[in-house]
A and B are shown apart, each in its own frame.
Chain A
């Protein structure tokens, strides 16, 4: 299996090097990927909670007799 690589451009010589990652660098990337997955899951959960709270609030306002236009006006 091909090892992942990184690119380094030497701005003085103009030389571009494609360097295979070390085991430690690969492990670091895997840790970062897991952290990114956690971050993404947290963001999605937060967005879902906000959407659910909004829907619940609108339902309660409707139950009180407000029209859809009045509910929309309150959220502006």
Chain B
């Protein structure tokens, strides 16, 4: 159980943006957690939300992950990928999804200052008032062994829409 759970930074987009980056992340916590509520301007119902982590600059290789998901509201399926340029098995709604709906994305990165590969887990729901909404539980790994002090989020298509929110929390076990 976390003894310390502090908001490091919050960002609500005042206009659409092609990506959102948290840089110079303090190295004083045990774990970090990011909550995203996003919507995109792309032309589809929902799409992948890309995440890259790094030190100084983001790593553009060495991401692997597996997820269990449903995209029809009835059956669950699984999917895995490795040697990717980013983590992208989390989802958010785009322009043709239900109006004014935003995603729920919960990203947990334990031991982010460590010197080994970085694991992460992501729960996401793209939010759409129809079975085409995607609900996914993802477990991943970045081969980056440097302490994480920068994280970037990018839509797979289009931009993040105005009013999308990004909250970065620091968690300590003491």
Contact = CB atoms under 8 A, between A and B. Distances in A.
Contact of B23 (A5, A10, A21): A10
A73 interface: no
Most buried by A among B16, B21, B25: B21
Interface string A1-28: 0001111111111101010010001000
What is the size category of the interface that chain A forms with chain B? 20 to 34
A8 B21 contact: yes
A29 interface: yes
B18 A5 contact: yes
B159 interface: yes
Nearest to B159: A4
A32 B85 CA distance: 12
Interface of B: 8-9, 11, 13, 15-26, 42, 44, 47, 156-159, 166, 168
Interface of A: 4-14, 16, 18, 21, 25, 29, 32-33, 36-37, 40
27 contacts: A4-B16, A4-B18, A5-B17, A5-B18, A6-B17, A6-B20, A7-B21, A8-B21, A9-B9, A9-B20, A9-B21, A10-B23, A11-B8, A11-B22, A11-B24, A11-B26, A12-B24, A13-B24, A14-B9, A16-B11, A18-B17, A25-B18, A32-B157, A33-B157, A36-B42, A36-B44, A36-B157
